[in-house]
Chain A
Amino acid sequence: MVSKTEETQLSNLENQVDNGGGGAWEFLCLVRKLKVRRSEMVLKHGLSILRDPKKRSSLGPEEWTLYEQVAIAAMDCQCLNVAKDCIKVLHKKFPESKRVGRLEALLLEANGSWEEAEKAYSSLLEDNPLDQAIHKRRVAMAKAQGNMSGAIEFLNKYLEIFMADHDAWRELAEIYVSLQMYKQAAFCYEELILSQPMVPQYHLAYADVLYTLGGLENLQTAKKYYASTIDLTGGKNTRALFGICLCSSAIGQLSKGRNKDDKESPELQSLAATALEREYKQIAPDKLSLLTTALKSLKVSA
């Protein structure tokens, strides 16, 4: 996760570099450290350092790190010739390196030579069966070819070995959501909540999936997880506040005419609605009347 201060630092540096104020190397280092995707900027400014022999040699051994960084950025920008040149330099310097081998496989992948890339990755995995990055490339390759069931299969296999990889669980959940396989997505979010119970995003996503699944029981559980999202964010989550209102309305409709025990107390919904109105009044006053009408229509239908 990138913190707010890091984000500001990055965007300040980005502006400075883009306006010719220097600091390109610091920017490139920060991008690497934060693992953010700024491929166009990295390609432009990384390449200008690499093309200037004086600047390049002043980096010392970091030169090779930059070649690697620029190669990956170039592939992301479809500048495959630049990537090829960078990888060639690296291959000459480190002929036996697995890390360079990984880049070469990546280039095959970028070219759309799926079979050759698959072969390259397989042989790299033989040397090191626990190379997480390569397992992930195979998932990405399946996805790039539109083979979603293959991607799911690779991810599930990967998660059998690396159960604690939260990003992988999240990726799997998102694939399931995109395929409208909501029950499976819910399972992934349950895993994530179990292993990291204090992350509000997981509570929110779980509630969203349950609401999408529908049915009284799911809606009631969804409402609880929206409530815990609000709790974990100190009341500052617009999506969860809306979620409470939606759930209350849907539960109200479903439990019409049922006995009292199934009925919801209206308190939570009013609280959420009030919090939303307060937020909009303060931050987006021009949308307040719109919000009030929408909330009213949710209440009436409940």
Chain B
Amino acid sequence: MGGDSRYEIAQDAYVKLILHALKHKASAVNGLLLGRVFPQNDVVEITDSVPLFHSHIGLLPQLEISLLLIEEHYAAKGINIVGYFHANERYDDYELGGAAKNIGDHIYRYFPQAAVLLLDNKKLEALPKSRDWSPVMQLYTRDASKNWKPAGSDGSSQLNIREPSANVVLLDYISTEKWKDVVDFDDHLDDISKDWLNPQLFK
């Protein structure tokens, strides 16, 4: 059960997902969370992320191929798929949609502490003024009745960013239009020379 786990996301993984969403402002986007679990203190470490798609998010073939290749790549490093990131098409849509839940369910089957993160546009937009250090994403975990529930409504924060300055870095990247350089799996399928690992992004 993912209900009581805590999640810690690395800055690069976090920033990459948000830049991906900003690159495709007019469409829904998604991505995968990769990392490992530390059972002794029930912490899931999200060490990396892969931007997946910006079109046809509800279709299976592209998703299955991406999962196959991404899983294979990270398994060699002892890292697994630990969750899913989603950004809705509409700015003021705060619902976790059917497709996002289904993908979350799929990941849950292999990783019971799976996290689903939904981009919080309002929090993202307010960042330059709010100077908030907390992630601009809403964490969802699956409860005993198999529903995805927003976590932290009681004020506790189950999701933290490893580097406290991540939002400052993010704002800096936004102002320099770094999002233009993000490559996702969609781009890769259109032109396989484009690398979904984004090796040059934070160089």
**Which chain A residues have a beta carbon within 8 Å of chain B's beta carbons?**
143-144, 146, 174, 177-180, 182, 205, 207-209, 211-212, 238-239, 242-243, 246, 279-280, 283-284, 286-287, 290-291, 293-294, 297-298
Contact = CB atoms under 8 A, between A and B. Distances in A.
A239 B62 contact: yes
Contacts of B89: 178
A4 B83 CA distance: 37
B68 interface: yes
Nearest to B62: A239
B68 A294 contact: yes
Given A180-B98, A283-B192, A208 B65 contact: no
A211 B60 contact: yes
A212 B61 contact: yes
B56 A174 contact: yes
B172 interface: no
A211 B61 contact: yes
B4 interface: no
Contacts of A280: 192
A208 B56 contact: yes
Given A178-B99, A279-B192, A290-B73, A297 B60 contact: no
21 contacts: A143-B90, A144-B90, A177-B58, A177-B59, A180-B58, A207-B61, A208-B56, A209-B59, A212-B58, A212-B59, A239-B62, A239-B189, A246-B61, A280-B192, A283-B192, A283-B193, A284-B193, A290-B72, A294-B65, A294-B69, A297-B68
Contact of B56 (A205, A290, A291): A205
A177 B59 CA distance: 7
A298 to B, nearest CB: 8
Contacts of B193: 283-284
A242 B28 contact: no
Sorting the interface of chain B by its residue count into under 10, 10 to 19, 20 to 34 or 35 or more gives 20 to 34
Nearest to A243: B61
Contacts of B102: 180
B178 to A, nearest CB: 16
Contacts of A205: 56
The 8 closest A-B pairs by CB, nearest first: A212-B60, A177-B58, A294-B68, A208-B59, A284-B192, A242-B65, A283-B193, A211-B61
B56 A246 contact: no
Interface in B144-203: 189-190, 192-193, 195
Contact of B98 (A179, A208, A211): A179
A238 B65 CA distance: 11
Interface of B: 28, 56-62, 64-65, 68-69, 72-73, 89-90, 92-93, 97-99, 102, 189-190, 192-193, 195
B33 to A, nearest CB: 19
B61 A178 contact: no
A286 B199 CA distance: 12
Contacts of A180: 58, 98-99, 102
Nearest to B28: A178
B192 A177 contact: no
Contacts of B65: 242, 246, 294
A291 B56 CA distance: 23
Contact of B192 (A178, A207, A246, A287): A287
Contacts of A286: 195
B84 to A, nearest CB: 16
A179 B89 CA distance: 12
Given A246-B65, A283-B192, A290-B73, A178 B93 contact: no
A180 B57 CA distance: 10
A294 B93 CA distance: 36
Contacts of A146: 90, 92-93
Contacts of A298: 68
Contacts of B73: 290
B68 A178 contact: no
Contacts of B68: 294, 297-298
Given A179-B58, A208-B61, A238-B192, 9 more contacts: A177-B56, A177-B59, A178-B58, A208-B62, A212-B58, A242-B189, A246-B65, A280-B192, A283-B193
A146 B72 CA distance: 38
Contacts of B60: 208, 211-212
B72 A293 contact: yes
